[in-house]
Structure 1
């Protein structure tokens, strides 16, 4: 379970979103049934768990864009990554951009608590058109797991690129590897459960993408797409989150949430035996479940694609 994602995406239980969404949650019309404010605690918890990975990613981006004046977090959610970007770039003003007012309120509160409020702002708009409401071109735009919620991803990238200052950088977090929480053989059910969850997740994600209003099929060649919209020097790098067993309670809670989301969202894509195994894993009273297992770990890889104007 787990690809695309900075650690959070409620409608992507695992692979392309949920696992990585540290925040990336700009949502289009297809996702207005989701109450992002109710999900704020989950989003913050996941983003904080992924902070070591995101800190490494931000430091790498800083080698390519060392002193940006304006940094924009596209689809910021509750602002965990926005604040991390503000810490990475102490000379920058940071704007958290999202479609959810309650999540942006969380972002402002977090920035205030971290002493960042004097150079931290928010903008409540929907992507991709909302980038036109920025007062100034951005020196760095960060879009973590927000792009795949937009129907026409190429057009969205073009809109982002247009709001970059000359020499500015666009960083897109999409892709990576499926996350892992357990060994191949966990002693219950058929071995290979997580691989089958991955396959179910891929089918689910394909259907989700097709259902987004204005959805345009696109080859997921992110450096190629960045180049196609007129940016240059496109490249990618992947960063690892490695939390070995035995995990702390925050990592265990995250693993539980991922299996819960898989159980709820992928029920139509998994067979009865696998659903039964997932139910056992989620049973707080079952010693073979994820609440008690000593072999539980979190291993996730997220890929950052960058290019400059």
Structure 2
């Protein structure tokens, strides 16, 4: 699992199909996506520090241990280490290759003495982690069949007054104008619909899948946590995009084509194939009108 962007527009990409991924190839893609979303994560980290201060804690300086559950290649783990300079940060993920990238990144940034890794699947394998003042998990819990149990498992690792932050939900990313000059107008909306169908089927097929309402503040409260609070953070990268951002959008739409292209009609499939073709004049890498606009919601609550 990973808190970095992994797949189809609007959702992360989790362990249900990890066996089919070449992590040596896909690891850099995850890093690229997480780096692109750095403004969102930085804003969220500042907000979390403010919440800890407002709730009677010592703010960032009082955070001594942070768990990043579903860390992927460790981009956010390192960001949290900088945001909470007195803390040890533990990057937790189910993939050893991604954790190796996390260790390399931390070492390169001079954070190797404060960022360590732990190989574990959520929610199993967390018992050895111990307690934390802050637990962060982004786009990981929705890949666990019983999300309520996963929230409760994480809450059980909070120290008194500690904060659990779950980044789930928000608004699906927008990349394209309504009319892009090829295919039928409104492609993005139809991609979103296909992605939602795929996502629903993915969740239904997970082991121990529970049909809970995805009311994250309620799930946090049911886990015994108090003062639930939510906030959304905007990523707004207007056109024209940088080459790095274009590559991210191309990769994201390519993942969508792979995951749910068979749900599209012939016209939309052809249009999406053209958009993801680097040699097509109408493709993402050559379009001046491609942008990135999304909102990520973070839900928090604290231990008594």
The reply to whether TM is greater than 0.5 is yes
Other-structure match for 2:50: 63
Q: Quick one: which of 155, 158, 175 aligns to 1:161?
A: 155
- Say whether 1:277 aligns with 2:264: no
The CA deviation string for residues 108-148 of structure 1, in whole angstroms up to 9 with x for no partner, is 111111111112211111111222111x3110000011101
Q: Is the 8 A contact 2:75 2:105 kept in 1?
A: yes
Contact 1:231–1:308 (8 Å) recurs in 2:
yes
Q: Does 1:122 align with 2:109?
A: no
Find out whether 1:110 has 2:105 as its counterpart. Answer: yes
Please provide the CA RMSD for this pair: 1.5
1:1-309 equivalences in 2 (<5 Å): 7-10=4-7, 13-17=8-12, 27=15, 31-65=18-52, 66=59, 67-134=62-129, 136-309=130-303
Is the 8 Å Cα contact of residues 30 and 213 (structure 1) preserved in structure 2?
A: no
Moved more, 235-244 or 124-133: 124-133
Report deviation, 1:285.
Answer: 3.0
Shift of 1:90: 0.4
Superposition deviation, residue 281 in structure 1:
1.4
Q: CA deviation at 1:33?
A: 3.8
TM-score, scaled relative to structure 2:
0.93
Structure 2 portions without partners, runs of 5+? 53-58
Shift of 1:284: 2.6
Please give the per-residue CA displacement for 1:138-186, whole angstroms capped at 9, x wherever unaligned. 1000001110111111001111111110110000010010101111011
Q: Is the 8 A contact 1:94 1:120 kept in 2?
A: yes
Structure 1: segments with no counterpart, 5+ residues? 19-24
Q: CA deviation at 1:215?
A: 1.1
- Tell me how far apart the structure 2 counterparts of residues 74 and 91 of structure 1 sit (CA, whole Å): 19
1:31 CA displacement: 4.0
Q: Distance in 2 between matches of 1:105 and 1:92?
A: 21
Using a 3 Å threshold, how does the CA distance of structure 1 residues 36 and 217 change in structure 2: closer, same or farther? farther
Give the CA deviation at 1:286.
Answer: 2.5
| C-alpha distance after superposition, 1:42-77 (max 9, x if no partner) | 110101111111111111111112221100000111
Contact kept? 1:37, 1:100, Cα under 8 Å: no
Give distance in 2, aligned partners of 1:69 and 1:169.
12
Q: Secondary structure at the match of 2:208?
A: coil
Question: Once superposed, which parts of structure 1, at least 4 consecutive aligned residues long, lie more than 3 Å away?
Answer: 29-38
1:254 and 1:105 map into 2 onto residues whose CA distance is 22
